[in-house]
Amino acid sequence: MGDMKYADVYTESVQNPESFWGRAAQDIKWIRKWDKVLDDGNQPFYRWFAGGELNTCYNALDYHVENGRRNQAAIIYDSPVTHTIRQMTYGELLDQVSRFAGALSGIGVKKGDTVIIYMPMIPEAVVAVLACARIGAVHSVVFGGFAPNELAIRIDDAKPRVIISASCGIEGKKTIAYKPLLDEAIKLAAHKPEKCVIFQRPQVQAFLLVGRDLDWDDFVKDAKTVSCVPVAATDPLYILYTSGTTGKPKGVMRDNGGHAVALKWSMKNIYNVKPGEVFWAASDVGWVVGHSYIIYAPLLYGCTTIVYEGKPIGTPDPGAFWRVISQHGVTVLFTAPTAFRAIKKEDPKGDYLKKYNISCLRYLFLAGERLDPDTYYWAGDMLKIPVVDHWWQTETGWPIAANCMGIEPFPIKAGSPTKPVPGYNVQIQDLDGKTLPNGEEGSVVIKLPLPPGCLPTLWQDDKRYLDYVTERPGFYITGDGGRFDTDGYLFIMGRIDDVINVAGHRLSTGSMEEIVSKHKDVAECAVLGADDQLKGQVPVGFVVLKAGVDRKPEDIISELVQMVRNELGALACFKEAAIVKALPKTRSGKILRSTMRKIVDGKNYVVPSTIDDPAVLGFIEESAKTIGYGRK
């Protein structure tokens, strides 16, 4: 790009995407060059690099081994919970990946088959992902430890031939055995995988089912290494399920070509990192950040990536991140604001930071939920480096808005992810689809086509993909509200629908309501996201009991908490609920969730003209107070 300024780069990207992305694509090694950078022949389904062939694993591993990075660390595995630090060079990773890919081919997995990966934060998770990419199999990583019925839903949707898992994951001081969860999920699922490959960790020995389950070490022992299978740029690379609002998860599909091009471009232009440097995304391979910035982007770019199995605090203390940065020479850290809120809570004065030299760290990038100004200023004062808030979604796969450090850094404004990233034509519209001027708040939309690397559709569900792009024809609906200020900085105000953000995890309050309403004593309920200093948002429930129920409210509430935990897993963080006489509704019977949300957050609200019984709002205020929310 040379010394082009942001405005020039951005303008070209939205006015002439073909020349812009055609140039970026020259950084990827193609087996066959594309016929067309952008195929817009079947709108609103756009395809990038149509006719092109490549292999993503080749670009992430073989290419670097052939070009002088064989002995550079590809992965640093740092696991304070097992007291392990292990490096794997590009050469070693390539060897393990091609061997595991050979073993998968040996049991019949071929191009286009799906494989579910249900793994903790260990290097073998990365090996499994890249091995699938190597042979053109479509991987779907499910967050390790997800509850069995959630895993079963994903098994039935993805229909994997093989599931790859491990005997356990370790959450802080707790060991979670995965195999019983996996067995239960397979029992619940209508679709049955042919084989399961289980990596045995020393902490837990998983029981293997003869005939179906294979031990990882035995599986790869005599496997032949295989080379990369060419796939079309438009072939699927992976499926990643994200919380839908209807309870049925949405399988976000990522293609091979656009994904590789966009991610490699982002490393230099957004994160301003150099090949050979150490890049650390402190997330999990089960989330989109883990896919994009633990595995694919750093390896496509020739960086060293860190696979960290631990927490920001308690493994062993709030200095955990500083130790990793100083010990491994991390230049860019990317994590969720929750991590920093947790560190700040335990070590407000930054005493632990003083024990380490982290002068290698150039930038801190934060994303995954709203970055509150408090945490932003605290992190900036502590680290004395740019703290960059940036905003994106599982659907987009890489940032929509950011302060692009590799193009032209702008002065930062707390609460804003700065400006749209080149490739994303972001607009604010009113309910009628009219574009609003700077300063006015509305719905945040992106003009089609979305740039490469975003979802081309949902996995085998084009119809549901259309929900994103037909409500306002020609635009992708982000589901967030927001505005541009007069300087063109974007401010994101939060979800318009019922997906909340708990510690960087997107969870549907709708699916929590479905679970709560199954309780035998519950007549109806509403679950909302309440602002929470540590986690960003936490779910809070309001429950109306059936007439004649004569039980202690606390017993019912603890049963509800347990039900949500059993069905969604502990990460749902559903712990607070109040029993109320009635829920505020419109005359047509719709629950006034947005008004309830304002009450819970202690904000001013206008009594809606459509409300059936305004007195109900007083009950909600009182109930919110009893569980520690609302006006103080």
| Spatial distance between the Cα atoms of 464 and 516, rounded to a whole number of angstroms | 26
User: Phi/psi zone of residue 2: left (φ > 0), alpha (ψ -120 to 50 degrees), beta?
Assistant: left
Cα distances from 175 to residues 144, 168, 201, 409, in angstroms, run: 12, 7, 11, 43
b/e burial code for range 202-216 (CB count within 10 A of at least 16 → b):
eebebebeeeebbeb
Residue type, 422: P
- Give how many domains the chain has, as a whole number: 2
- Residues 300, 205 share a domain: yes
pLDDT tens per residue across span 207-218 = 999 999 999 999
- Residues 513, 409 share a domain: no
- The Cβ-side half-sphere exposure at 332, using a 13 Å CA radius, reads 24
- Residues 230, 132 share a domain: yes
Q: Does some domain include residue 323? A: no
CB atoms under 10 Å from CB of 42, counted, come to 8
Which pLDDT score, from 0 to 100, does residue 501 have? 81
Closest residue by Cα to residue 508 from 275, 516, 314, 461? 516
- Residues 532, 394 share a domain: no
- Residues 30, 116 share a domain: yes
pLDDT tens per residue across span 468-516 = 898 889 999 998 888 999 999 999 876 666 677 888 777 778 778 878 9
- Residues 525, 394 share a domain: no
- Residues 412, 533 share a domain: no
| Spatial distance between the Cα atoms of 520 and 542, rounded to a whole number of angstroms | 16
DSSP 454: S
Give Rg (Cα) of the chain: 24
Residues (pLDDT < 70) of the chain are 1-4, 243-247, 494-498, 586-590, 609-610, 632
Q: Does some domain include residue 315? A: no
Q: Across the strands, what pairs with 117?
A: 141, 164
User: Phi/psi zone of residue 344: left (φ > 0), alpha (ψ -120 to 50 degrees), beta?
Assistant: alpha
User: Phi/psi zone of residue 520: left (φ > 0), alpha (ψ -120 to 50 degrees), beta?
Assistant: alpha
| Domain CATH number, residue 511 | 3.30.300.30
Residue 560 corresponds to which tokens in the numbers above?
């509800």
User: Phi/psi zone of residue 159: left (φ > 0), alpha (ψ -120 to 50 degrees), beta?
Assistant: left
Q: Does some domain include residue 579? A: yes
Cβ–Cβ under 8 Å, residues 425 and 449: no
Token pair 């607070």: residue: 576
Domain boundary among 447, 477, 507: 477
Domain boundary among 477, 512, 544: 477
Q: Does some domain include residue 332? A: no
Instruction: Show the DSSP H helices in 534-589 as ranges.
Output: 553-568
Residue 285 corresponds to which tokens in the numbers above?
């391979």
Q: Does some domain include residue 331? A: no
Beta strands in 202-294 (DSSP E): 213-215, 231-232, 236-242, 250-255, 278-281
- Residues 302, 216 share a domain: yes
Helix (H, G, I), strand (E, B) or coil at 410: coil
- Residues 473, 540 share a domain: no
- Residues 223, 77 share a domain: yes
Residue 194 corresponds to which tokens in the numbers above?
């042919």
Q: Does some domain include residue 71? A: yes
Instruction: Tell me the average pLDDT of the chain.
Output: 92
Residues with Cβ within 8 Å of 256's Cβ and at least 6 positions away in sequence, in order, are 54, 55, 56, 133, 231, 232, 233, 234, 235, 236, 237
Q: How far apart are the first and last CA of the chain?
A: 52
Which pLDDT score, from 0 to 100, does residue 244 have? 57
Token pair 């991610």: residue: 263
Cα distances from 35 to residues 32, 258, 311, 467, 563, in angstroms, run: 9, 14, 46, 29, 53
- Residues 16, 54 share a domain: yes
Output the CA angle 480-593-524, nearest 5 degrees.
Answer: 135
Cα distances from 612 to residues 526, 547, 586, in angstroms, run: 17, 20, 5
- Residues 298, 414 share a domain: yes
Q: Does some domain include residue 327? A: no
Which pLDDT score, from 0 to 100, does residue 2 have? 44
Which pLDDT score, from 0 to 100, does residue 34 have? 98
Which pLDDT score, from 0 to 100, does residue 508 have? 74
Which pLDDT score, from 0 to 100, does residue 588 have? 53
Q: What is the pTM of this model?
A: 0.86
- Angle between helices 509-516 and 553-568 in degrees, nearest 10: 130
Q: Does some domain include residue 333? A: no
| Domain CATH number, residue 202 | 3.40.50.12780
Burial bucket for residue 260 (CB in 10 Å: 0-12, 13-18, 19+): buried
| Spatial distance between the Cα atoms of 170 and 491, rounded to a whole number of angstroms | 37
Query: In terms of residue numbers, what domain contains 508?
Result: 499-626
